[in-house]
Structures are given as structure tokens and as C-alpha cells.
Amino acid sequence: MASTVSAAPRPTGRDRVVTALTGVTLRGLPRIPDPVKRLMVGGRRVVIDGNTLDTTLQLMLAGQKAAGLDGLSSKPDVAMARAQLSAAAASFKQAIAVAEVTNLSVPGPAGPVGARHYRPVDGAGAPLVVFYHGGGHVIGDLDTHDDACRQLCRQGRVHVLSVDYRLAPEHKAPAGNDDAFAAYLWAVEHAAELGADPDRVAVAGDSAGGNHAALVALRARDDGARLPALQVLFYPVVNYRDQTRSQALFAQGFFLTKADLHWFADHYLTGSGLDAGDPRVSPLLAEDLSGLPPALLLTAGFDPLRDEGRQYAEALRAAGVMVEHREFGSLVHGFLNFFPLGGGSARATAEAISAMRAHLART
């Protein structure tokens, strides 16, 4: 399988201790009663812009702050940032059971693209969701989002094809999206071989992966390819050019920081030949959004990307696209990966997957 993750330097002793302590804390969160969690955060509630932060996430963020962690790019070195996310994901991994998991590769524009197929129980003829992981186009991989894909597969009763697209800064925009689109076209052609329904192939992704999913839908329309049955966009990046109020409100302290956004954008766009306003990276800025497949768009109340997600939902509706937009006001960016912690993230993930199933049942 082609790998997009550079070899990471071995974590320092302090990093290993912080990761271990963070993992213990995260694994224990689901077993702590809410009243106890409230006591652990001193009884304080975090209320911003009319939303109250989920207690479980408040406790998680307090633990990260105590460990000296803030944001996804707190390690300025790319390899270390990748290693930090991988260690954090592994520290509370659940390995949710599905019928079968198979690593494979699909043809891409620059060589084979790694992928992972998750087969649901009784999955013959079930929909297929082509999934693109988040991580700012710089970090993240098949393993960091393994639990999320397993949950989509198990609860959604869908096949999932997770795509290991090329990452920046080694591969600037739009290389990763070229891989994403090639993987989608392959999935449409080979869905039946995977045991899925070739007429119900959807695209989905979180954050940067949501950016890929939105762009794949646009490329399919523009290239005359079969449209995805649905685009499932978890707190997507859709506008690299413009600043929003939510980026200022949640610039620091809520998992994804404004510094992260700049760090990711710099690695992804600088030297790419594409500017931040190019619709090939900023789908919100596309001249025409009509004729796109239905969208299920999920945003979080304490997320720097909240407002651009809202704007994309409004722009799609204005273009005549069927949109279901659900905002989970108490949550932070990344809640799809935080469902193992319980609390609002688990409820929101279950609700989003249920909505996805309902949409795909209608197609």
C-alpha cells in the first residue's frame, strides 16, 4: 500500500509520558458520571455565542491544557505533528467490530493510492461511502480515522472505502484531491466487486476530508461523471480566503486553533500555484454550485470552521441543492473522532450516521 505518512522521529520521554497520561484520561471519560465531570472542571460552564460547551469536551480540553497541548500543530515539525496525532488516536482506540477490513490500493494519477475497505455485517448491496480523513491536508491517515470509519460502517450499515490520499507539504494542492477524485471514480466502477450497491456511492469526510468530499462532488458534476448519491460533510474547510467571526471567537483553546488553520494552509497552498480563493481548494467560492448531489452538512458550535460551514449550506440551498444542515452547538471541531469519549460527541455522531442512513435509503 502506498503510504502518505513520513517516518516520524521517535517521541521524547516527555512526549511519551504526556501521551500515556492523556490516553488514560481519555479512556476513562465515558465512565465518569456527568455530575462528577462537572465537579472536575470546578463547576464552571463555558458559554460563548449562546452555546454551552459539552462537559466531556470541557474536561478533555482542560486535560490537554494541563499537559501543555493546544491545537493540532503544536509540534512545528510536520513529522512530529503527524506522530502526535497518531499517538493521540491510538491512545483511546476501540477497534469497533465490523464484518471485514481489507487494505488495498486503487489507481491514482501519480501511482497507487492506498485505501481501506470496511465491510458491514449483512452488507450485500448496501451503500458505499468513500471517506476522506481530516488533518488539514498535512496530518492524519487511515489509522487515525480507523475508529470513525468502523463506526460509520457498523452503525450506518454501509461499506466504507477510506482513502489514503497524498499529503502536503510533500504534495501540494491539488494532488490530494486528484487522488480523492480518482478513488471515487474507482469506487463507482468497482462498487459491485466490493459487495456494495453501485447506484448508492456517497462521499464523506471530516474537516480537510470534507473539503475533498465537496470538491469531488464538484469535479464529478463538471467532468460529467456519475454524481455521488450524497455528500456527507463533517465541519468542512470550504473557504481558505476569507476570515469569519467563528475563527476569531474560537481562535485558541477549542482543539482546532487559528494558528492550526494558518499552519495547514501554508503547507498545503504555498508553492502550489493555487491561491486561497481558487475554487479548486475553496468550494464555497465556486461560481456555480447548482446540480450538485444532496448534502448532509454537520457543524459544531465551538469550531473556527463553524461559520464557513453555515455559509456553504446557505450557498448550496441558494443554488437549488438539497441540504440538511445540523449544527451541534455544544461541540468542538473533530467530534467525529471523539465519539469514544461519550457525551455530546457520541450523541452527535450517532445522529449524523442515522441521518446519513436515512438519506442513502431514499436514493
Q: How far apart, in Å, are the Cα atoms of 337 and each of 206, 210, 342, 348?
A: 9, 14, 11, 11
Positive or negative, the CA dihedral 9, 13, 17, 18 is: negative
Does residue 303 carry a catalytic annotation?
yes
Residue 24 neighbours by CB under 8 Å, 6+ apart: none
223 is catalytic: no
DSSP for 90-141, please give it: HHT------SEEEEEEE--BTB-EEEEEEEPTT-TTEEEEEEE--STTTS--
Name the 3-class secondary structure at 192.
helix
Instruction: Specify the 3-state DSSP secondary structure of 160.
Output: strand
Catalytic one of 137, 145, 333, 359: 333
Residue with cell 522521529: 9
Point out the catalytic residue in the list 86, 207, 246, 272. Answer: 207
- Which three three-digit cell numbers place residue 317? 440551498
330 belongs to the catalytic site: no
Amino acid (1-letter code) at residue 348:
A
Q: Which of 164, 206, 260, 303 is catalytic?
A: 303
The secondary structure element, H or E, covering residue 232 is strand 231-234
Catalytic residues: 207, 303, 333
